Amino acid sequence: MSLQENWQAAQEQDRQQAEADGAGHRRYAKAWELHKLGVPVMSPNGGPDPALTEAALDGMLAAEQERRASQYEKFARAGIVTVFRALDVQILTCDDIVYTIGNHDPLTRTNSSRPLGLLAGAEAMVTDGPQSRGRSALLPLAAIALDTKAVADAAVVFPDGTVHIRELHGNIEVREAQEQVARFNALADAAAQETTEMDPGQVVRLQNLQGLKEAGLLSREEYAVKRAEIIASL
């Protein structure tokens, strides 16, 4: 190989390396952006999941932005939101889903709240410190300990086994969480009672109604009226 050919080969190798480095930097930046948005894309070693290409990350970013925009509209239409700040969850009026408490930003028209699970069948509790992620390992804190307990967990357990946990610090926060546990469980019990009283046809009607509302085909008022009609027919 001539000197000229060696030089050209070295130039091509440098170009390819520069392209690979640039792609790697872009891939890491997009993965980090998704990580900040709460989308799990990082591997245990701190880098992006090797299985995710740059194109896949682009698609995930677009999907997350679309989800947040849709969530913003859903919360804006809901009107009243019942917030359980000590439990780190919230419930929309005329909605049977429990959400995390995210950022509702009118400027960007996005909402970062995430659905956790069904309200019906869910159970909130204050537990004695860090717990495993399973219903069987969660033990409610005895009421007698509320005045002295300074560190605990607020946990919401869903029928599918999902557990949402928020750390509590200070007995004031622990007592506040315990009060919110009672209110949350009352709503969950009422939702479960409604569900058990329905026949399968009514459940399907409610699911279809919810889908129409989420698609923006029914206003909040129209949804509330139709839902009330179905409930009244029990």
Indicate if the pLDDT at residue 139 is higher than 70. no
Identify the band that residue 195 occupies on the pLDDT scale cut at 50, 70 and 90.
low
pLDDT of residue 186: 93
Q: What is the pLDDT of residues 83-129, one digit of tens each?
A: 999 999 999 877 788 999 999 999 999 999 998 888 988 999 998 76
Indicate if the pLDDT at residue 175 is higher than 50. yes
- List the one residue out of 211, 200, 188 whose CA is nearest residue 234: 200
Sequence-distant contacts of 92-101: CB under 8 A, at least 24 apart: 93/220, 93/224, 94/213, 94/220, 94/223, 94/224, 94/227, 95/210, 96/120, 96/191, 96/210, 98/122, 98/156, 98/158, 98/164, 100/164
Q: Is 73 helix (H, G, I), strand (E, B) or coil?
A: helix
For the record, the structure tokens of 91 come out as 């419930």
| Mean pLDDT of the 33-57 span | 84
Q: Where are the domains of the chain?
A: 1-52, 197-234
Average pLDDT, the chain: 80
pLDDT of residue 134: 44
For 15-42, b/e burial (b = at least 16 CB within 10 A) is eeeeeeeeeeeebbebbeebeebebebb
pLDDT of residue 42: 85
**pTM to 2 decimals?**
0.70
pLDDT of residue 143: 52
**Considering only 72-76, 170-174, 179-183, 194-198, which range has the smallest mean pLDDT?**
194-198
**Considering only 35-49, 51-65, 89-103, 111-125, which range has the smallest mean pLDDT?**
35-49
Identify the band that residue 144 occupies on the pLDDT scale cut at 50, 70 and 90.
very low
pLDDT of residue 16: 75
Indicate if the pLDDT at residue 185 is higher than 60. yes
